[in-house]
Structure 1
């Protein structure tokens, strides 16, 4: 492998960014950003710990789950999960976060970078109730950089083209769990756990 060890070497290979790619950065949400967040049911949150270790966590809920509190502040509810809270622990040590919000079927994405903190209660939590579940905490992000990203990665991967989907190309989640995580449990029990019962318990602590 021939490693790249400097920005000069990197620029020699990929070139300089176009002026419009640099100029599109903003520090406040536009009305179009608000519309995007209102339509987005899914985002990825990147965090980094004090030691530099990184994590990317997916978050999903009905469209509009990311609340816009004002032009420079958004809030994302925390739902029941595996309780690892890797990203949330990172935020306690290092507030810098990066978010990518998706709208199904769209190749472009909304990217938001900023500083985050954890909130255990606030009046806006009442607006985050889904199926009777009121979050016990939320991630509040102070926007420092926001821009829309082009669709090339989605076009290259054919991510939204149903004819390109191959969900059976890899073993089921239950097989992964039994092989890598829960070898003492029967496969049929895990298939049942990750089947319809799993979807029914999305807003219950597990």
Structure 2
């Protein structure tokens, strides 16, 4: 039997805008018909087919981060109807998402199938970071990946609070192409090098600190909107 979320859905901001723009009835139908507080069988099967997902987190102050996770099909493991987990592989050492989770457990996951089903699935919930040996003690069935670069260092465990569809109408259909992926590599070129020129920009700023510190017109405008906030600081560019 399908369980529908019983609590009042939507944030205060959502509800306020729905009332202001006359969409409250349409939104309520979506909440009632599409939003669950668990993963049903079709959602579970869908997650098991995915090779990627997007992960949204924020720290205790609400500073946001959105990142991409990938692995072999089924790298995100559905443990039961209200819990899922995924492995964290060796990365660049920044641990932005995991750091946020340790401060603020709320996460928003988005799975999108661009190839076969051309549909998306949102999963929102509360996350915690668990070391690999602890996770395996609790869930011995967790797989051990044969590829060294995909060996889990730790796992993110999520308690599902909301699960709902992302409609298909604007999702492009893409063709999957074979590509050798260098899991766990530290080779700068294979990781993308300085594709966006960030290292070059940083070097230029270091060479001319006076020019880098000069406020731009946009920064001055933002400071007027948000007095007291250090616009342009590292926190604003994460």
Assess same fold via TM > 0.5.
yes
Equivalent residues in 2 for 1:13-28, closer than 5 Å:
13=21, 15-16=23-24, 17-23=26-32, 24-28=34-38
Match of 1:176 among 180, 192, 195: 195
Equivalent in the alignment of 2:5: none
1:160 equivalent to 2:174? Answer yes
Equivalent in the alignment of 2:151: 134
4+ aligned runs moved over 6 Å, structure 1: none
Q: Is the 8 A contact 2:58 2:64 kept in 1?
A: yes
Structure-2 change in CA distance of 1:175 and 1:49 (3 Å) = closer
CA distance in 2: counterparts of 1:153 and 1:134, whole angstroms:
35
SS in 1 for 2:143: helix
Deviations 1:117-175 (A, max 9, x none): 00102224751424144211010000011112211331xxx36379xxxxxxxxxx445
Q: CA deviation at 1:34?
A: 1.1
Q: CA deviation at 1:28?
A: 1.5
Q: Is the 8 A contact 1:108 1:151 kept in 2?
A: yes
CA distance in 2: counterparts of 1:180 and 1:52, whole angstroms:
25
Equivalent residues in 2 for 1:1-206, closer than 5 Å:
8=16, 11-13=19-21, 15-16=23-24, 17-23=26-32, 24-105=34-115, 106-121=117-132, 122-123=135-136, 124=139, 126-132=142-148, 133-154=150-171, 158=172, 160=174, 173-174=192-193, 176=195, 179-181=197-199
TM-score w.r.t. structure 1 length? 0.71
Q: Is the 8 A contact 1:45 1:100 kept in 2?
A: yes
Structure-2 change in CA distance of 1:180 and 1:78 (3 Å) = same
CA distance in 2: counterparts of 1:44 and 1:108, whole angstroms:
14
Deviations 1:74-126 (A, max 9, x none): 00100122111111100000000010012232332111000000010222475
Q: Which runs of 5+ in 1 are unaligned?
A: 163-172, 185-206
Q: CA deviation at 1:9?
A: 5.4
Q: Which runs of 5+ in 2 are unaligned?
A: 1-12, 177-191, 203-238
Aligned length: 167
Q: CA deviation at 1:19?
A: 4.0
Structure-2 change in CA distance of 1:21 and 1:161 (3 Å) = farther
State the structure with more CA Rg.
2
